Structures are given as structure tokens and as C-alpha cells.
Structure 1
Amino acid sequence: MDLGQPVRAVVPSLDGPVLTVLAGLATPISGREVGRLVGTASPAGVQRVLTRLAAEGVVHAERRTNTVYYSTNREHLAWPAVEVLAGLRRELLGRIAERVQAWSVPVHTAAVFGSLARGEGNTDSDVDLLLVRADDLTGEQSQVWEEQVDALVTAVQAWTGNRAQPYEISVQELRAHVDAGEPIVQSWQREAITLAGRDVTAVLRSVAR
């Protein structure tokens, strides 16, 4: 799955990103602004998509002086499908959170970072997971923990087609990473999205000396 534009998994054309932008807005915007938010498309290409979507009735087009403003038509029969496709990134984060929160050996902190957290990436990008475990796991708990992580990796790949890359670390090891100034810590501080357990920022602050 394209982690930057998950909708492309089903709608590989420019229509998908344009619909994703419009689905996340509550007020009409100009075609130029839609193009700016889509980011990787020509203005002419975005305008062609908007014109077609307006002809299909999926979006409303309203002319104001010399500018046409576009907004979603949430009454359209196709709109529920658009909502699902536009919300694929949110759905993925929700599924990971739900899975991790149900673990029998609880996670201290679970988060995503990297391209998924930044809303970037492509079909070759990994789903980067930060999984912080307690320091005092018993032998049996450690085995269950590994089974949980393996099951999550398998599930993420089934959900997305992308490889999950878990970064497993204990609280003590996390403290050592912070003390050593490991570059990956800056990535966690800057972009990580907490999905379960303690907030990443709070945990990093608590282990800093």
C-alpha cells in the first residue's frame, strides 16, 4: 500500500488523492488550493479530475467571481465508499492500536514513526513500529511477547502489503538510547504517534537523565 496515499491501493489515478483532500475538509476550497494540498500533481491534472468529479456529482462546484470552489457532496450514493478509502491511514492506525491494546503481555509504549507517521512513503515503505516493553518480563512472558509481535507483523503485512519493521526495546534499553544520543531517538521525538501505553514524548522525558 502507498503509505503516503493509501487510497491509491484501490484508486491508482489522481482521483484518489483529490478525493482524500476534499474528504478531510469542511469548507469549499479552490482548485488551486486542492492542487497545493495534493502536492504531487500538475494543476491541469487536478483541474481535470475536479471537473470530472463535479460532472459525476461527487463534488459540488460553486463559482465565486472568477474562482470555482469545490466541496464534497456527502449525499452522493458513492460517498460512503469514498469515506472508507479516504480513511485508510486512520483505519490502519486504529487496527494497530486495537491489536496492541489487547495484548496479554502489555506494552509499555507502542507507536508508529517514519513514513507512516509523517504521512509520506510509498508501496515500498516499511511500517515502522516502536514497541517498548517492561524490563522485568519473565521467560514465559518474553515468549508471549515475541509471539504477539510476530502476529502483529503478520497482520500489518496482510492489512497493507507493506513489511512491518518493529523496533523492540525495553525501558532500560530506551534509557541507554537516550543517554547515548542515538539518532533514532530524535525521530521518535519529532514524529512518533502513540497508539497504546504511555505517550512517547512523556516516556522519553522520563528516562532522560
Structure 2
Amino acid sequence: MGNDHKHQKVKITTGPFLITEEVGPDIQIGRNLDRLVIILKNPTKKKLKAKITLGVCLQPVLDPQPGWGKRSYRVYDDIPEQDFFLGNHELKPHTCTRIERDIPTDLFGYETSTDERNAVYRVTATGDFNICNQTCDPICGLLEISVVAGSVALFDEAGLEQADPATFFRYKDFVFCEDHDEDHNDDDSDDDD
């Protein structure tokens, strides 16, 4: 059913999703999405590898166009995407790797960091994943991955205090990519950082 992955790396993605400013009510106020957690799991008896990248399109700058008050929708065109390399990871047999990235915010207007609230994220993984030849769906047998974002109580502790279910991507939710983009070269996924 699956592909032969001895020499072939598979590329899969969440597709684009929104990192909202707040999640859920917490005593009448929402909680910021503070952290993105990517989990890799190796359920096999051999070492497996994956390269993880995060694409980010920042919240658009409000630039009212003529007629906005008369339309029931808005379009924000050509928002540039920036890719963040989150590492090449080699997982030993029967282990997990957690990649936790704090979501930069500029809550107080100090302009000390990029504010990624209301940004569009896209997680892409290239590596030893198993894809069904007939459906192109991820299947068990090699690496597995999941993604979730949420809020934290203490930034120096691992994990999330509260997760946003709208940002939860199970392994089966990932989409197989046939890479036709010559500008991106995923051949370096064997390098360790």
C-alpha cells in the first residue's frame, strides 16, 4: 500500500490555518494563542528523519478600499509569506520529539518583536512519512505528526495550558504535496542541526 521510502522523502502539510488573537472565554476574556506545538512520533524499530518548516503570513494591514462599506466581504491580496526552518530531526525507535515555538506578540506596542497574532500558519514536514499510493493519504508504518496551538500559563514550562481545537491537525489531516516548486530544495533533510 505505502511507498518505498528508503531513498524517497515525502512532503506533507497542514495547509493554511489562522492563529487567532484569542481562544475561548476565560472569566469573560479570551486567552492568547501563545505557542505552537508540533509532535513527531516514531513508532518503528528504526531511526527516521523529518525536516520541519513553518510558513507565516502576518496579519494584513487594514487599508480600506473604495466600496468596503457597501460589500459584505474583504479581500487582502498578496500577503508575503516568510518561512521559518524548525530543524532537521532524527527520531530514535519508539520515541517522540516535541517542537514548541512561542508565537511572537507585541501586546503593548513596543515593536520589540513581530506580532504573529491573526497570522496564517502552514506547517510542512518532509521526511520518512508513509503515504497510500491509491489515496495519497498519510498512513501508519513510519513517522507520524500532529500540530496544535494554544495558551500557556508559564512560558518556561513545556506544553500548553489550553489548546485551541481549531488548530489541531491530526496525522490523518495532513495533505500530501507533490513538490513542483523548483525554488524549494528539500534534499538537505539528512543534515542535522
TM-score (norm 2): 0.30
Computing the radius of gyration over CA atoms, which structure comes out larger, 1 or 2? 1
- Whichever structure has more helix as a proportion of its residues is 1
Q: Relative contact order, CA 8 A, sep 6+: which one is greater?
A: 2
TM-score (norm 1): 0.28
- Whichever structure has more strand as a proportion of its residues is 2
